[in-house]
Amino acid sequence: MNWLLAFVPIAAVLEYAFPSWHTAIFAASALAIVPLARWLGNATDHLARHAGEGIGGLLNATFGNAAELMIALFGLRAGLTGVVKASLTGSIISNLLLVLGGAILAGGMRFRVQRFNAAAARVRATGLTLAAIALIAPAVFVELSGTREARRELSAEIAIVLLITYLLGLLFALHTHRQLFTGQSDTPEQDSTEAWSVRKAIAMLAVSTALVAWMSEILVGAITPAAQALGMTGLFIGVIVVGIVGNAAEHASAVMAARRNKMDLAVGIAIGSSTQMALFISPVVVLASYAIGPRPMDLVFTAPEILAIAAAVWIAALVAGDGESNWLEGVQLLAVYVILAITFYFLPGR
């Protein structure tokens, strides 16, 4: 993906020299985020090797979906809460359907049947089910009763519950039951590359984080005019386009892992990233909105978004529950994603 780094200066030039070229600015900044997110993830992984398992888990929790988090935070500052919610939805369903489906298909084209740790996959799927419930509850509350202030208070309290649950999940995975997450096909090949020095890892983390933040700000500024120029709604841009951009690095990693028959790693990347988005990034964004947004953001998603998340969680749990995968299951996950993408394209704006 390194050749995509060329879009960093291209996006900068377009932003400052041709500010009216909104569609080109949006496309260039989106493409620039893809390799930067990959470099940010690499820096986090190398730093985690020096920090140890516990601190490494916290580092991955913090920076694992940093690109999505920064896009969401800049969206909050711009008052685009609808696009922010859509991007959270898009990241969850993209990981569960596009990333996992692509990985299973890529691996299945090379191996007839692939196996992975079903117990670990079920634990992650249960966490996602909890998140789906947390997203449905505020919408039901608003439908039945509740003022704007009440729904914000409810969302903030649910966000705190999700954060606590995520931190306890880290304790479960990294300490009390870490044997469940030692993949059946894990080999030393995963860590065969030489670790960067702490200084280099921190430097790369700082540089890539700053560049991701810069490109995210440019991207958010171009979303609304670009969507109008392309004839797309903010909902579609957030759920599909931003979701794909934010997860491109995870997609590449999961596909490469599946092609090497490392399905525990591939499933862990896809489902683990969705779990992190639902249980960590979403509540962090809700709580952060009280400080940086023009108004606090709640967890009341639209009915299509809730249905999309529920469907993605359900079919991903079905696929991952037996600890085996084949290429047809990958096709089925991708088919669900395409169906949802078509549906969101034809939905009217918020």
Q: CB count, 10 Å around CB of 106? A: 19
What is the CATH number for 213?
1.20.1420.30
- Residue 190's pLDDT is what? 45
Question: Do the Cβ atoms of 269 and 107 come closer than 8 Å?
Answer: no
Determine contact, residues 130/276, Cβ cutoff 8 Å.
no
Q: Give the tokens for residue 191.
A: 């860590």
Residue written as token pair 């030489």: 194
Under a CB-based contact definition with an 8 Å cutoff, are residues 270 and 99 in contact?
A: yes
Alpha carbon distance 95, 319 (integer Å)? 14
* Structure confidence by residue, pLDDT tens digits, 183-198: 554 444 444 567 788 8
pLDDT score, position 189: 44
Q: What whole-number distance in Å separates Cα of residue 126 and Cα of residue 246? A: 24
The residues near 327 (Cβ < 8 Å, ≥ 6 apart) are: 104, 105, 107, 108, 109
DSSP 30-50: HHHHHHHHHHHHHHHHHHHHH
Number of neighbours of residue 134 by Cβ within 10 angstroms:
20
pLDDT of residue 284: 92
Residues in a beta bridge with 324: 115
Q: What is the DSSP letter of 98?
A: I
Q: Check if the beta carbon of residue 75 is closer than 8 Å to that of residue 87.
A: yes
Of 77, 45, 94, 11, whose CA–CA distance to 265 is shortest?
45
Number of domains comprising the chain: 1
Q: What span, in angstroms and rounded, lies between the C-alpha atoms of 109 and 258? A: 10
The Cβ of residue 180 has, within 10 Å, a number of other Cβ atoms equal to 15
> In 3D, which of 51, 57, 2, 99 has the Cα closest to residue 319?
99
- Host domain of residue 37: 2-346
Half-sphere exposure of 161 (CA within 13 A, CB side): 14
Written as six digits, the tokens of 118 are: 């079903």
Chain centroid, CA 212 distance in Å: 15
Q: Quick one: how far is CA 3 from the chain centroid? A: 23
Q: Residue 58 and residue 198: Cα distance in Å, rounded?
A: 16
CA distance 160 to 150: 16
pLDDT for 342: 94
H or E stretch including 324?
A: strand 324-325
Q: What is the DSSP letter of 239?
A: I
Question: For residue 70, which of 242, 216, 210, 175 has the smallest C-alpha distance?
Answer: 216
Which stretches of the chain score pLDDT less than 50? 185-191
| Cβ atoms 270, 254 nearer than 8 A | yes
Contact 71, 242 (CB under 8 A): yes
